[in-house]
Structure 1
Amino acid sequence: MIIIPQTKGGVGKSTVAMQVIAPYLFKKHGKRVTYIEIDDENNDSKSFTRTEIVEKRMLGTNKLTELDELILMDDKHEIIVDVGGNKTSSLVLEEIKKVGSFGNIKWIIPLGDGELDGKNAIATMKKIKKIEDNLEENVLFALNRAISMDQEYIEEQFINFFGHKYLDSNSVLCDFVKDPKYFAVKNDKVITMSRYLGSTVWEMAYNNTDFAKKAMQAKELGDIESARKFLFFRRIQTEAKDYVLGTLNKIFFDLDKWLQIKK
């Protein structure tokens, strides 16, 4: 089971869960994965109305005991749990603390580049530390909305994670974990586009529709508006493929090393 908590809202948990982890596990297992969203206030997964890589399920905070058996049985990481921010993450972590992880949980903590994002990531990590015996091996951080994938740029953008020798910070994550594992998720408008289309970037990239051919056919029929529409989707498809090649495939490689999924 892969659980994605954060005590702060708005840090991109659903982006990490649906745009990164869901396609990774779908590709890895060759079948739909179970996607559980726990949030009594916001159901971000509802935006993905056309995705075919997950089976979505909502779980209220009044039914958290249902996680106990799911954690015990899911030793191949076929379930993603997207946990709402603020009180919800605290409730979920308290519930898991009661029964333990059975060695079947991997945790991904997302954070943006704000100072408060960093402090809440530290707070979330400290809560997980009460559950996990091997924190450094089982926790991965997602540096969300990275402006560039250049390593030097990432380290300067996410000062709340790495710290900086010339800039003061009360606390950074690297003060608490010696060598934290992480991946960066590049910010891109194609992510926004995919949500409006109800799909994931990965699925858009591997959509077999030949939009170029459809644009040509529309042009020959004199339907200029349809031709423009197909050109628009052709461009999004190309941008999605570029995002998979430039960002997602690198993350997938890192996840392979981290998860080492049992066969």
Structure 2
Amino acid sequence: MIIIPQTKGGVGKSTVAMQVIAPYLYKKHGKKITYIEIDDENNDSKSFTRTEIVDKRMLGTNKLTELDELILMDDNHEIIVDVGGNKTSSLVLEEIKKVGSFGNVKWIIPLGDGELDGKNAIATMKKIKKIESNPEENMIFALNRAVSMEPDYIEEQYINFFGHKYLDSNSVLCDFVKNPKYFPVKNDKIITMSRYLGSTVWEMAYNNTDFAAKAIKAKELGDIEGARKYLFFRRIQTEAKDYVLGVLNRIFLDLDRWIDIKK
């Protein structure tokens, strides 16, 4: 099981869960992944109405005991749990603490580049450390909305994570974890586009629709607006492929090094 908690809302948990981890596990297992969202206030996964790589399920905070059995049985990482922010993450972590993780959980903590993001990532990490016997091996951080994938740029953007020798910060995660594992998630308009289309960027990239042929046919029929529409979707398809090649595939390699998926 892969659980994605953060005690702060708005840090991109659902982006990491649906746009990164869902396609990664789907590609590894070759079948749909169970996606559980725990959030009594916001159901972000509802935006993904056309995805075909996950089976979605909602779980209310009044039914958290169901997690115990799910964790015990999922020793092959075929379940993603997207945990809501604020009180919800705290409730989920407290529930798991009662029974334990059985060594079956991998934790991903997302954060942006804000100071509060860093403080809450540290708070979330401390709660996980009370559950896990080997937390530093089983935790990885997702640096969301990265402007660049270049290491030097990332280190300066995420001062709350790496710190900076010339700038003060009271919430530097590297002060609490030696050599923490992390991966950056580059910000891109294709992520926004995919949500409006109800799909994931990865699925859009591997959509087999030949939009170029459709545009040509629309032009031949005199349907200029139709041709423009297919040109638009052709461009989106190409941008999605570029994002997969330039961002997601790099993250997938990082995840391969981090996670051991049993066949």
- TM-score normalised to structure 1 length: 1.00
Residue 114 of structure 1 corresponds to which residue in structure 2? Answer: 114
2:95 match = 95
Secondary structure of the residue that 1:178 maps to in structure 2?
coil
- Looking at structure 1, the residues matched to 135 and 37 of structure 2 have their Cα atoms a distance apart, in angstroms, of 23
Query: 1:92-171, aligned counterparts within 5 Å?
Result: 92-171=92-171
For 1:4, give the aligned amino acid. I
Q: Distance in 1 between matches of 2:20 and 2:184?
A: 11
Distance across 2 between alignment mates of 1:155 and 1:169: 14
State whether residues 142 and 182 of structure 2, in contact with CA within 8 Å, keep that contact through their aligned partners in structure 1: yes
What is the match of residue 18 of structure 1?
18
Paired residue for 1:36?
Answer: 36
- Partners of 1:51 and 1:2 lie apart in 2 by 19
SS at match of 2:89: helix
Structure 2 counterpart SS, 1:82: strand
Give the TM-score normalised by the residue count of structure 2: 1.00
**Counterpart Cα distance in 2 of 1:62 and 1:166:** 47
Q: Residue 167 of structure 1: SS of its match in structure 2?
A: coil
Give 1:171 deviation, angstroms: 2.5
TM-aligned CA deviation for residue 170 of structure 1: 1.2
- For 1:203, the equivalent position in structure 2 comes to 203
The residue type equivalent to 1:63 in the other structure is K
Paired residues, what number?
263
Q: Kindly provide the amino acid, as one letter, of the partner of residue 108 in structure 1.
A: I
* Structure 2 unaligned regions, length at least 5: none
CA deviations over 1:18-49 (Å, ceiling 9, x no partner): 00000000000000000000000000000000
CA distance in 1, matches of 2:168, 2:65: 43
Structure 2 Cα separation of the partners of residues 202 and 152 of structure 1 = 27
Q: Deviations over 1:143-195 (max 9, x none)?
A: 00000011100000000000000001112000000010000000000000000
Residues 83-140 of structure 1 show CA distances to partners (whole Å, capped at 9, x for unaligned) of 0000000000000000000000000000000000000000000000000011110000
CA distance in 2, matches of 1:139, 1:150: 22
Q: Which amino acid aligns with 1:222?
A: G
Distance (Å, rounded) in 2 between the aligned partners of 1:171 and 1:56: 35
Dislocated runs of 4+, deviation >6 Å: none
- In structure 1, the gaps of 5 or more residues are none
